[in-house]
Amino acid sequence: MSDALTYRDAGVDIDAGDALVERIKPAARRTMRPEVLAGIGGFGALFEISKKYQEPVLVSGTDGVGTKLKLAFQLNKHDTVGQDLVAMSVNDILVQGAEPLFFLDYFACGKLEVDVAAQVIEGVARGCELAGCALIGGETAEMPGMYPAGEYDLAGFAVGVVEKAKIIDGSTILPGDTVLGLASSGAHSNGYSLIRRIIERAQPDFSADFHGRSLAEAVLAPTRIYVKPLLALMRALPVKGLAHITGGGLLDNIPRILRPSLAATLDARSWPLPPLFQWLQSVGKVADNEMHRVFNCGIGMVVVVDRDNERQAMDLLAAAGEQVFAIGRIETCAPGGPQTLVR
């Protein structure tokens, strides 16, 4: 029939979807773990929990990349946001002591561009390798009319496991404990609505040198994944609390692991404010308190340890490749008072 319609006529290219699956299979294979019984290609993925756990507790997390994607579209740079996607979920489940086991991604677009999607999923696979978890499955949704041309959305889902007796919940944190900060790689995936507003004001040259790299590379630097160094630290000595510094910055995330009677007092002079944040604060005329509430300001993960373990913890983290700073102490506070003070 000359007027017969096909799915492609409606805007969905099944062949492109199949081509993407074939492109990403090698990347997914690099992330496999022995517990994977069935991965990409089936209706569901199968994963066996290792028998090394006596009382395994599953920990799950889901997140996206937010409006950082808008800059990826603007700069036509798609090879880093996949790592961002993984990092946001695996770092979140890590703070409860969980080892990430597997990850699933959801990629949605109006028209599937296989090369772009492959760059994104390669980044997801790279993030999974850094986290030691398997890219076990996902979904690519081509939905004509749902997204502007050239744009897509991402969501990610991570599942990890922790021994029940080793769950980290902040309950053992005491006054006098040391607050360590692990350096971030940039703004990670938070505060990008403000970053984009500042960029609109500044109208910068993204290709110009910015402290040894381009501004484009600085604002799209992928989120650091802290999984392997921190799992090694947990095996070596007691970790009392972990806080992933995401939306809400330093001021709102650290209190999530503190009892109401405790506060973290941080010394802003104890770690360097990276050039990106200096530029954002200067161009945007952003107040210090707003910086600390919106951005990680150079600290992507906070670790609370006993003061007696401070030096050993710092040495272990540094040996694992982390930039680590002793940034503060745990103190008592009145209930209802601020639980993070930056001085």
> Quick one: average pLDDT of 182-202?
97
Judge whether 91 lies within some domain.
yes
Q: Which of 166, 196, 218 is the last residue of a domain?
A: 166
Could you say which DSSP state residue 66 is in?
A: T
Look at residue 126 in the predicted model and tell me its pLDDT.
Answer: 97
CATH number of residue 130's parent domain: 3.30.1330.10
- 177: nearest Cα among 8, 86, 43, 306: 306
Structural domain boundaries enclosing 272? 178-342
Checking if the pLDDT of 10 tops 90, the result is: no
The answer to whether the beta carbons of residues 263 and 319 sit under 8 Å apart is no
Cα–Cα distance, 63 to 82 (Å, whole number)? 12
The answer to whether the beta carbons of residues 81 and 188 sit under 8 Å apart is no
Checking if the pLDDT of 296 tops 70, the result is: yes
> Quick one: average pLDDT of 135-162?
94
Checking if the pLDDT of 108 tops 90, the result is: yes
* Residues present in the chain in total: 343
Judge whether 292 lies within some domain.
yes
Triad 69, 227, 245: Cα angle to 5°: 55
The answer on 147 and 275 residing in a single domain is no
The count of structural domains within the chain is: 2
The answer on 222 and 135 residing in a single domain is no
The answer on 303 and 333 residing in a single domain is yes
**Entry pTM:** 0.94
Checking if the pLDDT of 7 tops 90, the result is: no
Checking if the pLDDT of 202 tops 90, the result is: yes
Judge whether 100 lies within some domain.
yes
> Quick one: average pLDDT of 172-180?
98
Q: Which of 166, 195, 219 is the last residue of a domain?
A: 166
CATH number of residue 279's parent domain: 3.90.650.10
Mean pLDDT of the chain: 94
List residues bridging with 266 in a β-sheet. 328, 342
Confidence label for 186 from pLDDT (cuts 50, 70 and 90): very high
Judge whether 5 lies within some domain.
no
pLDDT tens track for 58-102:
999 999 999 999 999 999 999 999 999 999 999 999 999 999 999
Look at residue 2 in the predicted model and tell me its pLDDT.
Answer: 61
Confidence label for 1 from pLDDT (cuts 50, 70 and 90): low
The answer on 71 and 218 residing in a single domain is no
- 299: nearest Cα among 291, 307, 310: 291
Q: How far is CA 69 from CA 54, 126, 174, 202, in A?
A: 41, 18, 40, 19
> Quick one: average pLDDT of 303-324?
98
Q: Which of 144, 166, 188 is the last residue of a domain?
A: 166
The answer to whether the beta carbons of residues 62 and 155 sit under 8 Å apart is yes
Cα–Cα distance, 262 to 274 (Å, whole number)? 28
Confidence label for 196 from pLDDT (cuts 50, 70 and 90): very high
Checking if the pLDDT of 278 tops 70, the result is: yes
Look at residue 5 in the predicted model and tell me its pLDDT.
Answer: 73
- 194: nearest Cα among 65, 273, 283: 283
The answer on 183 and 283 residing in a single domain is yes
HSE on the CB side for 208, CA within 13 Å?
A: 5
Look at residue 180 in the predicted model and tell me its pLDDT.
Answer: 98
Cα–Cα distance, 269 to 134 (Å, whole number)? 39
Could you say which DSSP state residue 55 is in?
A: S
- Non-local (6+) Cβ contacts of 59 within 8 A are 93, 96, 98, 159, 160, 161, 162
Cα–Cα distance, 309 to 294 (Å, whole number)? 30
The answer on 117 and 44 residing in a single domain is yes
The answer on 148 and 225 residing in a single domain is no
- 262: nearest Cα among 173, 167, 169: 173
* Phi-psi sector, 76: left (phi>0), alpha (psi -120 to 50), beta: left
